[in-house]
Amino acid sequence: MNAIAIVDRNLGLGRDGKLLAHLPSELKYFREKTLGKTIVIGRGTYESMSGNLLPDRETVILSRDASFNPPCQVFRSLEEALDYLKSKPDDDIFVAGGESVYRLFYPYCDRFFITKLYAAFDADRRFPNLDENPNEFSVKELSGIIEENGFEYQFFEYTRVK
């Protein structure tokens, strides 16, 4: 299973349900990685997308709210979601937020596609620090530094060492 995220230099993910910066090339990268795949998100992430499903992707949402019923697969627990996802190839699953969903699925992800934004924001959501455990992950730079909309960022892939 994969995770995909953009983080600032303090591992911030977002603020008030919004991304920290608008970066069209990073959004294109996200689209290229997840197109035709299954994305796993939480209710808050879905709502931050104005209740719209991303085209040409299967969306799986994790939410404990029994009254929450969007037009896609919804699971009330991690176990239910994992049971459903086990029928899919691991390479076709992308955990895509928010913070609590990343933390729940962290032990099940073997690859993390992380865009590092070289700026700091007042974020209210954070991503786990993959660099804390250098023996747990091998890291590969997927790009040089990209400059866009006044920000510098870079694509990385972390692979869990088995």
Domains and CATH numbers, the chain: 2-160 (3.40.430.10)
pLDDT (0 to 100) of residue 162: 81
Reported as a single tens digit per residue, the pLDDT across 99-141 is 999 999 999 999 999 999 999 999 999 999 999 988 999 999 9
Q: Which residues of the chain have pLDDT under 50?
A: none
pLDDT (0 to 100) of residue 51: 87
100: left (phi over 0), alpha (psi -120 to 50) or beta: alpha
Three-state secondary structure readout of the chain: CEEEEEECCCCEEEECCEECCCCHHHHHHHHHHHCCCEEEEEHHHHHHCCCCCCCCCEEEEECCCCCCCCCCEEECCHHHHHHHHCCCCHHHEEECCCHHHHHHHHHHCCEEEEEEECCCCCCCEECCCHHHCCCCEEEEECCCCEEECCEEEEEEEEEECC
Provide the whole-model pTM: 0.96
* Cross-strand pairs, 19: 14
